[in-house]
Structure formats: structure tokens, C-alpha cells
Amino acid sequence: MTSVPQAFQGIDGIQILCLVQADGVPADDSIRNQLCDRVAAAAGQGTELAVSTIALGDPAVLSQSKLTILVHGAIEGGDRAILTMRPYRPSAPGSDVLFGAMPRVASLSDEAGIKSAINASLDEILPWRAGIAGVRKLP
């Protein structure tokens, strides 16, 4: 059995932080919010941990009890997005994660395609989706 990565030990929740850019500048807030909400809904599947979204600049990203999933979307051609995700927890010694899920390409207007890209990325970075036991909400 594989042990739970340190970044996930002792957490009481997950927060999703998204940055979406189109042509090198931040995309509309509605696009970012929609992506963050999709990731949050998918990340909450299979765990009792509370999952929330936070905005850029929110000091909650430094919370010692939360794990933040950094989601970066780059839009090109108006609809095609390249997504990357990485867990981030600055307060836990030895919990640095240098690389996250591999980049994935999906069309934002293709509900099944974007859902598949999000799920595949989360499968790579969330222990309970990878079958690693031990990540549970603390009483």
C-alpha cells in the first residue's frame, strides 16, 4: 500500500484556486469561476473533505489546514484550453510538490471533454482518486 503524500496529511479541507488566461492576460471572471466550480465539484467526489473555491489574492491560500489545488488554464483560439493542476501546501514541511498533473487540452464548450480533462488531472494528484487510503476528514 502506498502512503499518503505529506501535503495531504492532516488537512481538513481543499480549496481550488484558478488562473485562466487568454492571449496572455486574465480571462473573464465568469470563465475562471466556471472552471473553478467544475474542478471543485469533481475534487469533492470520493472524499468527506470540504471543498471550496478561493480567488486570486485570497490569504486563505496560506492556511495550514487546507490543501490548495492550483489550476492554470490557458485559452487559445477562443475555446480551446490547456489545463494544468498542482497541489500546493506551503505550511507542511516536506510537502512540496514540484510537478502536478500533466497538461491536458479540452474545448471549454465541450462539456464531456472538459469534464474528462478535469477528472484525469484530479486522478493524478488526489490520493483518494488514485486508490491511496488514509485521507479522510478529521473529526
pLDDT tens digits, 6-43 = 777 788 899 999 999 998 888 889 999 999 999 999 99
Phi and psi, residue 22, nearest 5°: -130, 120
Q: Which of 4, 3, 2, 15 is nearest to 89 (CA)?
A: 15
In a domain, 134, yes or no: no
List the domain range (segments joined by +) for residue 101.
6-125
In a domain, 83, yes or no: yes
What integer pLDDT is reported at residue 1 of this predicted model? 44
Encode pLDDT of 37-74 as tens digits. Answer: 999 999 998 888 999 999 999 999 998 889 999 999 99
Give the CA radius of gyration of the chain. Answer: 15
Q: Is the predicted pLDDT of residue 135 greater than 90, yes or no?
A: no
In a domain, 139, yes or no: no
Q: Is the predicted pLDDT of residue 127 greater than 70, yes or no?
A: yes
For residue 18, give the CATH number of its domain: 3.40.50
In a domain, 112, yes or no: yes
Q: Please tell me the distance from the alpha carbon of residue 80 to that of residue 73, in angstroms, as a whole number.
A: 10
Packing angle of the helix pair 29-43, 111-125 (nearest 10 deg) = 60
